[in-house]
Amino acid sequence: MLPPIVHHPDYTAEIPADHRFPMLKYRRLAEIVSADGLAPAGFVVPEPATAAQLSLAHDRAYVDAVLSLNVPPAIEREIGLPMNETVVRRAAAATGGTILAARLALAHGLACNTAGGSHHARSDQGAGFCTFNDVAVAIRVLMAEGLIGTALVVDCDVHQGDGTAEIFANDATVTTLSLHGEKNYPVRKRQSTIDIGLADKTDDRAYLSALDEILAPLLDRTHPDIVFYNAGVDPHEEDRLGRLSLSDAGLAARDKRVIDAVRGRGIPLAGVIGGGYGADVEPIARRHALLHRAAAAYAG
Ligand SMILES: [Zn+2]
């Protein structure tokens, strides 16, 4: 059986066509994944995350401000997206999608969302194109339901997972690993359990060797009940915000290694797509599909 893929049409929100956030990549990714035969029975469609679920990782006042379209302008600027109704719907749907992918991962071993990885959202506000921290919410939902006791976040987006680090800073049940560009956004980094800050122009070989060095020992040491994998494609050499120099093959090798290491130990893995930036959504959407292809290859 191919791993379930979670998607919702609301992942694509309405923002100005010339906005620097490549919103249309979500729709295009779904088309590519379908055309590649990776979702033969169709997508699994999530329910939007509820205010109660979102409040397990975020301050209730912030959740209410977002859901009622009353985000203060300063926070809206920090998020970098116009906080209109479709953007809010997208944030709730994407978070619901990561919750669903996690449930499916617990049931089937491996499942991926076609959105998610909003790792800059902190407990009290969003930032960096991230409204709600979908992975943090999903972890807290599964824990509240007694489905997991521990979790590991493997964050390979090129930007540091500062929001995730902040939310779980005093939570010994959640281990956070961030492999990111040291000189990249955010300027003020938070302390993850383990931070690997990579130099500009880091290539496939150096990147994969840094990953190999850390991942297997970390999995053996923590043996979490679930792993959330942020497979951001912004470490790619052509990414507009990346600063690193990974190739398509390097990203594919990275995804395979993470999935092999986690699933090889019998640990469930929920994959989210993370960042990927540029004016042309086609190559970005194709890079994001590498995750779904790697998941299908593992299961097949
Ligand atoms: Zn990123």
Rounded to the nearest whole angstrom, what is the distance from the C-alpha of residue 180 to the centroid of ligand 1? Answer: 9
Rounded to the nearest whole angstrom, what is the distance from the C-alpha of residue 233 to the centroid of ligand 1? Answer: 8
Rounded to the nearest whole angstrom, what is the distance from the C-alpha of residue 32 to the centroid of ligand 1? Answer: 21
Q: What is the pLDDT of residues 4-51, one digit of tens each?
A: 999 999 999 999 999 999 999 999 999 999 999 999 999 999 999 999
Q: How far apart are CA 294 and CA 38, in angstroms?
A: 10
Range 124-141 average pLDDT: 98
Rounded to the nearest whole angstrom, what is the distance from the C-alpha of residue 1 to the centroid of ligand 1? Answer: 31
Rounded to the nearest whole angstrom, what is the distance from the C-alpha of residue 159 to the centroid of ligand 1? Answer: 4
Rounded to the nearest whole angstrom, what is the distance from the C-alpha of residue 23 to the centroid of ligand 1? Answer: 14
Burial class (CB in 10 A: 0-12, 13-18, 19+), 64: middle
- Phi, psi (degrees; rounded to nearest 5) at 155: -105, 105
Copy the structure tokens of residue 12: 């694509």
Q: How far apart are CA 38 and CA 106, in angstroms?
A: 20
Q: What is the pLDDT of residues 243-287, one digit of tens each?
A: 999 999 999 999 999 999 999 999 999 999 999 999 999 999 999
Q: What is the phi-psi region of residue 213: left when phi exceeds 0, alpha when psi lies from -120 to 50, beta otherwise?
A: alpha
Place of tokens 């989210």: 272
Q: Is the overall model pTM greater than 0.85, yes or no? A: yes
Rounded to the nearest whole angstrom, what is the distance from the C-alpha of residue 220 to the centroid of ligand 1? Answer: 27
- Phi, psi (degrees; rounded to nearest 5) at 200: -50, 145
